[in-house]
Amino acid sequence: MSGVLNFNYGFTITGQILEGPVAGPLAGVTLASYDGQGHLTQVDHVVLNGNPPAVQWRPATGTYNLNADCTGTEEIDFTDGTPSLHLSIVVVGRGREIHQVVDDPGVATTAVGIKRDSPL
């Protein structure tokens, strides 16, 4: 991968918020687009405690850094004022999958993204 992501990925998210007023299990999906220059855009739909989100698809932007060994980091900034997320990532399968884990305290969430091969 040589430090470049320039594709769209569909992610499945699972995990739990461990503390605070929104503590509980979560599940969701995300469609993220990586531009090959360290920036990403995405939309997500995350169900928390069995409750659907207020907005069907929540937009976000962010940055990513991918090392030559296919490990890296991401920061995702949400447009609705939700705190930013910080993630560690690993790209596997010759760029076909991205595995993520949230690095923020109180959040135990992972995601797996599969590369989308072609436009809809």
Q: Which DSSP string corresponds to 24-61?
A: EEEEEEEEEEE-SSSEEEEEEEEEETTB--SSSSEEEE
Which pairing describes strands 97-102 and 24-34: parallel, antiparallel, or unpaired? unpaired
CA separation for the pair 18, 23 (Å, rounded): 5
Could you give all domains of the chain from N- to C-terminal order, each with its CATH number?
8-115 (2.40.128.120)
pLDDT, tens only, 58-110: 999 999 999 999 999 999 999 999 999 999 999 999 999 999 999 999 999 99
pLDDT, tens only, 15-40: 999 998 889 999 999 999 999 999 99
Residue 118 has pLDDT above 90, yes or no: no
Residue 119 has pLDDT above 60, yes or no: no
Residue 2 has pLDDT above 70, yes or no: no
